[in-house]
Amino acid sequence: MRRTLVKPLRIHELAKAYLASQPLPLDRSRGGRPRTFDDAMILALLGIQNLYQLSFREALEFSEDYFRELPSLATYHYRIQKLPLELVQEFVTYVGNQIRAMDPEPNPNLVIMDGSGFSYHDVYPMSFYGGLEIRKIQAHVKAAALVGLLNKKRFVLSARAGPPYTGDTKLVEPMLNNLHQPDSYVLGDKGFDSIKLLELILDKHWTPVIDMKAGRINKIKHPLRQLSKANVIQLGLYTKRTLIEGLFGNLKQKLSSHVRIFNLATAEKFVLMRFALLNMAVLASLEKTRDLWLWFSNSANPAPE
């Protein structure tokens, strides 16, 4: 991920286009402060804050060069708290769809599932804990993502975030339900060993390539598990699952694995926005490549007489 490819005004443009594409606004009939600034502005500020690892105050000061009017610190903090998690979640999917639209028929059609954690509040030395002790550490956000490939570039099809130790399968199931990508191969590690998940994948006429838990004593007995394990061995696609590990590592290296937020609900929005920023970097890279190709193609044409 190249952070320099993501421009503040481009974040705002994508946020406005995303909100304009929504058929109906989310219900906001519960009262609260007047919404002087629209959600596109708030999403853009949230993106800028995550992109440059700024505090709330620093994000507003940094954005003065890009926007004429900005909310006050108290208003911005309040609006972030009230921003629906689903709004940020669907923003990730929207930017991912812009990437998919650049090549609607990728071959092969891969969907890679994986999950990871992002710390927030205080940074705990989690590597020093094990067993029951690590379960006492609550200050992290669990995130799961569906990742696709386009021209050897990885991008996020959709992402969800939840409380600490939320199961990967629980986060992934709704995303698979909402994904419309025919003839797909769905890859996942042993953490996605679930009959319910396999049934969902097969019901959508996809091919499961999920590794199964097994040992010398506990053999794979269920037919669906046997089918998925056979696909892992025979299709030769499972090695591509490691691509997502590099994606998560790149994301955490560039945007940090720690969220400087003390509230879990707000931290979840920050984590999701980082997936959206990764997609924006991929989209900008593809658009730049396309524009260069068009420029050189046009320049090669002879000038009209």
What's the residue count for the chain? 305
DSSP SS3 for 234: helix
Q: Cα 184 from chain centroid?
A: 19
Cα separation of 258 and 72, whole Å? 25
* Residue 33: both structure tokens together: 């402060």
Per-residue pLDDT of 167-191, as tens digits, reads 889 999 999 999 988 889 999 988 8
Q: Write phi, then psi, for 42 (nearest 5 degrees).
A: -65, -40
Do the beta carbons of residue 155 and residue 96 sit within 8 Å? yes
pLDDT digits (tens, 9 = 90+) for 258-284: 888 888 999 999 999 999 999 999 999
pLDDT in tens, 75-119: 999 999 999 999 999 999 999 999 988 875 656 688 999 888 888
The pLDDT tens digits for 11-68 are 999 999 999 998 755 555 555 666 788 999 999 999 999 999 999 999 999 999 999 9
Cβ atoms of residues 125 and 98 within 8 Å: no
Specify the higher pLDDT residue, 32 or 257: 257
